[in-house]
Amino acid sequence: MLLALIPAMAGCVLPSDRLAFPAPLASTPAERAFDTNADGRPDFWLLPDARGRLRELAYDDDADGAPDRVYEPPRDPDAVPHLIILFDSIPYEPVAQRAADAAWTWFDPPVKVIPPFPTMSPVIFSRLLGAPPLPGVINEYYDREAGRRADRLSERVRGHGNPWERRLNYRLKYWENGLSFLYPHRWFRVDLARAKAAFDSSPDRVTVVYLASTAGLVSKYGLAGVNECLDGLDQLVMQVLYERRGAVEVSVMADHGHNLRPGTRIDLAAILKGAGFRPSGRLRTPDDVVIEQDGLVNYAGVHTRRAADVAAALAARPEIELAMYLDGDRVIVRGEHGRAAIQERGGRYRYTAIDADVLALLPAADSLAADGRADADGFIAAGDWFNATVNHRFPDAPPRLWEAFHGIVVNTPDVLLTTRPGCYTGLSSFDWWVDMASTHGGLDQQDSATFLLTTTGRATAPLRTESVMHAIEPEYNPGILRR
């Protein structure tokens, strides 16, 4: 990111691309009216049916204030182009509120989506698009086989995308993404315009675009940034519906939530050093630890030969919410009051307290067992865990934490940690550039839960990230579209 900021410091001229579609003249339960030719009178309407769903799109060609052409939305989602928009860093609740307040009749009701953990964009989008696991959670990761740090930053700046990015029809260049944290308003407008241009020129029935600039808006401006993102989404979708006469499907989702509160950066290296460990770039002695942290987020990873000791030292600190590590066939979750364990058997998961119900999941486990959902040894199917905990403080935690240590990335840290609300970790240099109004990365509901909006009628219940594409495009098989 710092390399990406060099052009800005050198005084580069920022792009000025932007959409031109107007805001609505009127938006009521009976109609949504637009003046597309700037003559002061409405000439395009979205009209709902008795259920409040989009019934037709109407156009006035002779400026008499009455529709001359009327089009109905498509009845077969597979018969029209499908624009899939990926946002970065948008929590579920503000989207649900906006959809209700603004009467977004063209979308089905928003669906909650729970991502994998760690709730970091590359991990999540890899799952969403069926890409292979990344070598590490972040660009600078510890390569366990080589016994040293590996850094992909320079190749990313040179334009080498991750496997999931190669399945996109559009995204900002990596250095542009860095600039978007400095100038998020400008780059979001650019992102919207370029995403639409990519859709217009796409030869594919399904077009997937990723607007990375939303991360900067939400990180710098919190809820106000979320609302600006949703304003932009509204404008983009309206222009697409207008130009395509409604003959299009649109789906929109994000990778993870955000806590929408400012915080204070903690110095993870100092914490571990104070506990008797030695932050380093290699694991030469039992006291060495290699810290993986990037950006300013609520998650970090630690490579160590003493996972249990590191987790205990971290969990004893008031800034740390959870510290997790693998112990044989168990994932241990450590909090301030003790430990709990997660085990897996044949796609089923068991959560037990060792000396504390760290995730407050025992009531859910007991309820599922009482309903006959647990086997004789207390193992519960992943789908049952999801349905029972989708609105819990730590949604879908047993499957998510198990997967975090079993192949979510190639080089999994030995300890995964999350910070308490009001604290975050990351590189101190990032504090120079961005004042954080909101952060993400944790296991909890706010950091995790995001949304899916779609016009397809195919998503009616909460989903895990990896199920989204199959839900909205059952036959979709993403190919390699970009380098």
Give the start-to-end residue ranges of the domains of the chain: 3-129+164-261+444-472, 264-432
Beta bridge partners of 44: 34, 59
143 touches 149 (CB < 8 A):
yes
- The dotted CATH code for 3-129+164-261+444-472 is 3.40.720
Instruction: Please give the backbone phi and psi of residue 61, each rounded to the nearest 5 degrees, phi first.
Output: -95, -25
Q: What single letter denotes the amino acid at residue 97?
A: Q
For the segment 387-408, the average pLDDT, to the nearest whole number, is 98
Q: How far apart are CA 224 and CA 38, in angstroms?
A: 28
Is the pLDDT at 11 greater than 50? The verdict is: no
Most confident of 25-29, 36-40, 174-178: 36-40
Residue pair 277/307 in contact by the 8 Å Cβ criterion: no
Are 425 and 268 in contact, with CB atoms under 8 Å apart? Answer: yes
pLDDT at 461 over 80: yes
User: CA 115, CA 122: separation in Å to the nearest integer?
Assistant: 11
Please state whether the predicted TM-score (pTM) of the whole model is above 0.85. yes
Higher model confidence: residue 17 or residue 120? 120
How many other CB atoms sit within 10 Å of the CB of residue 437? 20
- Using alpha carbons, select from 298, 329, 326, 334 the residue that is nearest to residue 413: 326
pLDDT at 6: 46
The full length of the chain comes to: 483
Stated as kind and residue range, the H or E segment containing 180 is helix 174-180
CA distances (Å), 9 to each of 5, 429, 432, 433, 435, in order?
6, 15, 13, 11, 18
β-pairing verdict for 278-279 and 288-292: parallel
Question: Is the distance from CB of 226 to CB of 91 less than 8 angstroms?
Answer: yes
The pLDDT of residue 273 is above 90: yes
CA distance 157 to 171: 14
- Write the CB contacts of 305 (distance below 8 Å, at least 6 apart in sequence): 283, 286, 288, 414
Collapse the DSSP code of 338 into the 3-class scheme (helix H, G, I; strand E, B; otherwise coil) and give the result: strand
Q: What is the C-alpha to C-alpha distance for residues 153 and 139, in angstroms, rounded to an integer?
A: 6
Q: What is the mean pLDDT of residues 199-223?
A: 97
Tell me the pLDDT band of 479, cut-offs 50, 70 and 90. low
Number of CB atoms found within 10 A of residue 131's CB: 18
